[in-house]
Amino acid sequence: MTLVMASPSRFSVIVPLIVGCAQFMHQFDGSVIATALPAMAQSLNEDPLVLNLAITCYLLALAVFVPISGWMADRYGAKHVFLAAIAVFTTSSVLCGLSSTLAEIVVWRTVQGIGGAMMTPVGRVIVVKSVPKFEIVRAMNYITIPAVLGPLIGPSVGGFIVTHLSWHWIFFLNVPIGIAGLFLVYRHVPDLRDETVAPLDLRGFILIGLALAGLVFGFSAIGRGPVPTAIIIVAISIGAICGTAYLAHARRKADPIIDFGLLRVRLEHRQRHLVARRWERAVKRG
């Protein structure tokens, strides 16, 4: 009996690569702006430490809106949410590049963070639901490689742009990638929907959002002069309290927005099931 490896299906290659390019845009943008902060601060006549607020607000938006992204993908369709996320991220990138004040940068970076919060988890949901289970590992490689390249080349590209062009172009670079992403997602990504969707866990969303926002803001602001120590302590305390309250809420809620009960599922059981299915398919091909 000869075992023949199945060739990758169309969804196993094209869809993960599309999602990986979106991850690249998200990771690349975050690494580029860190390099360009001094030039941006000089152009806006602001202290570079104060301009770090743009990065902090981006992280806060990620922390708050990542938990609700899964429910939105189930409720409105993963493809539509993914398209909206890319559109929001690309549009806010343009507005960041056109900004002329610190307030404008902070506002549009926050909106950009909302788009990024939807892109990352929803993209992975699309891959998991559209790719055959026995090709998941291969598909995840197509996502991971572009996402890893973003932080690797971001600082170099950011330094080149700031030196030879203008910091505004670090945001304009997202435009062609975003437009291409919208076209490819519309053309190749299947429309995935769940027939039954649980109601939104609004209380859980508020609690986990406050918890993550407080912790992210508090820990990211440690050691920075513009943020008083008292505010940092209050933010971390609020985050810890809300996080504890959410854990208690999630135990009582039938469909919490983040189900920590999934962590009790043993990975080896899934691996055995996956190996068994692959073996059955290989035997049938004979």
The pLDDT value recorded for residue 269 is: 52
The model's pTM is 0.75
Residue of 80, 88, 96 whose CA lies nearest to 115: 88
Is 85 in the same domain as 149? Answer: yes
The pLDDT value recorded for residue 109 is: 87
Is 255 in the same domain as 221? Answer: yes
Mean pLDDT of 52-81: 80
- Is 60 within 8 Å of 113 (Cβ atoms)? yes
- Cα-flanking dihedrals φ and ψ of residue 79, to 5°? -65, -45
Is 182 in the same domain as 217? Answer: no
Is 123 in the same domain as 31? Answer: yes
Can you read off the two tokens belonging to residue 274?
């996956």
Q: Does residue 266 have a pLDDT over 50? A: yes
Is 149 in the same domain as 85? Answer: yes
Percent of the chain surpassing pLDDT 90? 1
**Final residue in a domain of this structure, among 165, 188, 211:** 188
Residue of 105, 103, 70 whose CA lies nearest to 85: 70
Alpha carbon distance 176, 46 (integer Å): 30
Look at the chain and report how many structural domains it folds into.
2
> Which band of pLDDT confidence, cut at 50, 70 and 90, is reported for residue 5?
very low
Is 174 in the same domain as 248? Answer: no
| pLDDT tens track for 182-204 | 888 888 877 776 667 777 778 88
User: Domain containing 151 — which CATH number?
Assistant: 1.20.1250.20
**17, 33, 77, 87 from 181: Cα distances, Å:** 10, 21, 17, 9
Q: Does residue 98 lie in a domain region?
A: yes
Is 151 in the same domain as 214? Answer: no
Q: Does residue 195 lie in a domain region?
A: no
Is 155 in the same domain as 204? Answer: no
Can you read off the two tokens belonging to residue 132?
């055959």
Q: Does residue 256 lie in a domain region?
A: yes
The pLDDT value recorded for residue 277 is: 60
Q: Does residue 101 have a pLDDT over 60? A: yes
Q: Does residue 282 have a pLDDT over 80? A: no
Q: Does residue 149 lie in a domain region?
A: yes
Residues 6+ apart with CB under 8 A from 186: 83
Q: Does residue 193 lie in a domain region?
A: no
Is 170 in the same domain as 231? Answer: no
Q: Does residue 1 lie in a domain region?
A: no
The pLDDT value recorded for residue 96 is: 86
Q: Does residue 57 lie in a domain region?
A: yes
Q: Which residues span the domain enclosing 175?
A: 10-188
**Final residue in a domain of this structure, among 160, 188, 216:** 188
Higher pLDDT, 86 or 140: 86
Lowest-confidence pick of 98-102, 193-197, 235-239: 193-197
Mean pLDDT of 200-228: 78
Q: Does residue 261 have a pLDDT over 50? A: yes
Three-state secondary structure of the chain: CCCCCCCCCHHHHHHHHHHHHHHHHHHHHHHHHHHHHHHHHHHHCCCHHHHHHHHHHHHHHHHHHHHHHHHHHHHHCHHHHHHHHHHHHHHHHHHHHCCCCHHHHHHHHHHHHHHHHHHHHHHHHHHHHHCCHHHHHHHHHHHHHHHHHHHHHHHHHHHHHHHHCCCCHHHHCHHHHHHHHHHHHHHHCCCCCCCCCCCCCHHHHHHHHHHHHHHHHHHHHCCCCCCCHHHHHHHHHHHHHHHHHHHHHHHHCCCCCCCHHHHHCCHHHHHHHHHHHHHHHHHHHC
Please provide the average confidence, as pLDDT, over all residues in the chain. Answer: 76
The pLDDT value recorded for residue 239 is: 87
> Which band of pLDDT confidence, cut at 50, 70 and 90, is reported for residue 170?
confident
Q: How far is CA 138 from the centre of its chain?
A: 20
The pLDDT value recorded for residue 224 is: 61
Q: Which of 84-93, 100-109, 245-254: highest mean pLDDT?
A: 84-93
Q: Does residue 155 have a pLDDT over 80? A: no
Is 121 in the same domain as 66? Answer: yes
**Final residue in a domain of this structure, among 163, 188, 213:** 188
The pLDDT value recorded for residue 275 is: 54
The pLDDT value recorded for residue 163 is: 80
Is 105 in the same domain as 148? Answer: yes
Is 174 in the same domain as 207? Answer: no
Can you read off the two tokens belonging to residue 84?
């909206």
Higher pLDDT, 8 or 174: 174
Q: Does residue 3 lie in a domain region?
A: no
